[in-house]
């Protein structure tokens, strides 16, 4: 497949192979973009921003709605592409396509509501004759750097609000999963987005990442990825807006009064969706002692039922990690934890890039699976005496994206909501629940700013104040 440079499909002599991580088979090739391509894309995006901001809002909204319908009409093609190039099963991929259609539709809807408001200048003595308002305007060229784990919807989360607000975008998708982003770019161009307002550059981060984020013509970098990569982006970005989602180590608190079977089922789902390669996937589960033994037994039984296999088979529950190297890392972390005293409740075996759904108990403090972001199908269970202990242990890591609590007690739920140090608390559901319209982001090393269409639009626009000094008053 070719890449998109300023709305044009272009080829390059150097190629990047896109391989299915399950069996290593070749899915497609894409051009290996260079720093020259980055500079050309940014130069075009400067003009593309002018093209896009001159359009009336209804034209941008209509283009986004058309793009959403195109994705919807080609849903199975998109789903198969997501499943082939990445880790998701075909059932998981179909859900991602549905979400992407929703994300683009939400972007169009919010494009009608980029509002300002009047300002009461006469609240200040001496300003009695002044009247005015503010409105929001697009900031310009946005660099969108996206990850492999949601290769369609997380691109939509960046380009949808950026374009409907009147900006232009240069997308750098994950090297491992560029095809879904290119298909989305195709839909956006067919929908009527100004060609120069969109580029999707398929290149390696070490070659095109720094030139993209460091260019002064880029006014915002929207990045989703790992913590260390995020730190490199921040070092190179310079004086511009930065929005970052950098992952997590999400805790789940299970209190003794909860619906136990629902807590088990939802936490298993939250731990192993997309082979655990989910920034809000459940990683640490703190269970009150009166129900701990029962929870552990049910959780281990349910984990053993998670079926791995070919991603395009309808019966497969969980696919591979994105690479064999990632699976090897995870296998090593599990062995290190078991060697330090952890009990293996389920799973733990690896075949190529496929890691079994794995549950651990008695994980010692400081083990990698305990305090770092696992980003794979491994979850650790811990008994706790009470909610206070669970909250303290939940907060004892450098991340803070999502947390969850299972309880029937509203007072306990509200204590957790107040005291958990994170960007979102999910009550009686998995940490990995996300509505595409809600504000999404974290605290501490989980990132900066918020996504979610309306909230991303705020980040991707700026307020302009207008003040009239009225020369006479009636």
Q: CA-to-CA distance for 68 and 63, rounded, in angstroms?
A: 9
Of 385, 76, 365, nearest to 256 by C-alpha is: 385
Per-residue buried b or exposed e for 69-98, using 16+ beta carbons within 10 Å of the residue's own CB: ebbbeeeeebbbbbbbbbbbbbebbbbbbb
Q: CA-to-CA distance for 351 and 22, rounded, in angstroms?
A: 10
Q: Would you say 87 and 352 are in contact if contact means Cβ atoms under 8 Å apart? A: no
Beta-carbon neighbour count of residue 301 at 10 Å?
14
Q: CA-to-CA distance for 377 and 109, rounded, in angstroms?
A: 36
Residue among 92, 258, 279, 296 flagged as catalytic: 279
User: Residue 419, exposed/middle/buried by CB under 10 A (0-12, 13-18, 19+)?
Assistant: middle
Residues in the chain, overall count: 474
Of 146, 277, 140, nearest to 202 by C-alpha is: 146
Q: Would you say 124 and 152 are in contact if contact means Cβ atoms under 8 Å apart? A: no
| 228-to-245, 300, 471 alpha-carbon distances in Å | 12, 33, 56
**Kind plus residue range of the DSSP H or E element containing 252:** strand 250-254
313 is catalytic: no
For 79-235, strand residue ranges (E) read 117-119, 130-138, 141-145, 168-172, 198-200, 218-224
Q: Would you say 362 and 317 are in contact if contact means Cβ atoms under 8 Å apart? A: no
Q: Report DSSP letters for 355-389, one per residue.
A: E--EEEESPPTT-HHHHS---SSEEEEEEESSHHH
Q: Which spans in 55-88 are helix H?
A: 57-73, 75-85
Residue among 96, 245, 326, 331 flagged as catalytic: 245
Q: CA-to-CA distance for 247 and 266, rounded, in angstroms?
A: 20
279 is catalytic: yes
Q: CA-to-CA distance for 167 and 150, rounded, in angstroms?
A: 23
Q: CA-to-CA distance for 457 and 173, rounded, in angstroms?
A: 21
Active site residue ranges: 245, 279
């Amino acid at each position: 497949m070719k890449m998109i440079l300023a709305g044009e499909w272009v080829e390059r002599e150097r190629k990047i192979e896109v391989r299915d991580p399950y069996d290593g088979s070749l899915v497609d090739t894409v051009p290996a973009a260079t720093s020259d391509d980055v500079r050309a894309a940014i130069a075009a995006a400067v003009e593309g921003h002018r093209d896009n901001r001159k359009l009336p809002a209804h034209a941008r909204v209509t283009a986004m709605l058309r793009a959403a319908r195109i994705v919807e009409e080609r849903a199975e093609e998109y789903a198969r592409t997501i499943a082939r190039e990445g880790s998701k099963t075909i059932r998981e991929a179909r859900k991602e396509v549905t979400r992407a259609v929703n994300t683009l539709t939400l972007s169009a809807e919010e494009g009608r509501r980029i509002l300002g408001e009047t300002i009461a200048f006469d609240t200040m003595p001496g300003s009695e004759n002044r009247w005015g308002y503010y409105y929001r305007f697009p900031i310009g060229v946005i660099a969108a750097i996206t990850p492999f784990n949601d290769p369609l919807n997380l691109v939509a989360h960046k380009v949808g609000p950026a374009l409907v607000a009147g900006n232009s975008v240069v997308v750098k998708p994950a090297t491992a999963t560029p095809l879904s982003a290119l298909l989305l770019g195709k839909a956006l161009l067919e929908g009527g987005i100004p060609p120069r307002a969109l580029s999707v550059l398929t290149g390696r981060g070490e070659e095109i990442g720094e030139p993209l984020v460091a260019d002064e013509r880029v006014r915002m970098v929207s990045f989703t990825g790992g913590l260390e990569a995020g730190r490199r982006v921040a070092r190179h970005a310079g004086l511009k807006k930065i929005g970052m989602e950098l992952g997590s180590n999400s805790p789940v608190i299970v209190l003794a009064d909860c619906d136990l079977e629902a807590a088990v089922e939802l936490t298993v789902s939250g731990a192993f969706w997309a082979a655990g390669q989910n920034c809000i996937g459940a990683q640490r589960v703190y269970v009150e002692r009166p129900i701990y033994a029962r929870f552990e037994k049910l959780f281990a039984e349910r984990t053993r039922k998670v079926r791995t296999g070919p991603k395009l088979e309808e019966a497969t529950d969980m696919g591979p990690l994105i690479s064999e190297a990632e699976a090897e890392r995870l296998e090593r972390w599990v062995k290190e934890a078991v060697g330090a005293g952890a009990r293996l409740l389920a799973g733990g075996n690896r075949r190529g890039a496929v890691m079994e759904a794995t549950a651990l108990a008695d994980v010692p403090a400081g083990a990698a699976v305990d305090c770092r972001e696992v980003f794979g199908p491994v979850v650790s269970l811990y008994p706790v005496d009470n909610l206070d202990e669970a909250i303290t242990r939940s907060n004892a890591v450098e991340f803070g994206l999502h947390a969850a609590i299972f309880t029937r007690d509203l007072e306990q739920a509200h204590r957790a909501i107040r005291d958990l140090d994170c960007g979102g608390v999910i009550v009686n559901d998995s940490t990995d629940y996300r509505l595409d319209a809600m504000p999404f982001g974290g605290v501490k090393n989980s990132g900066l700013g918020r996504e979610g269409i309306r909230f991303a639009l705020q980040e991707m626009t700026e307020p302009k104040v207008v003040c009239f000094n009225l020369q006479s008053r009636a």
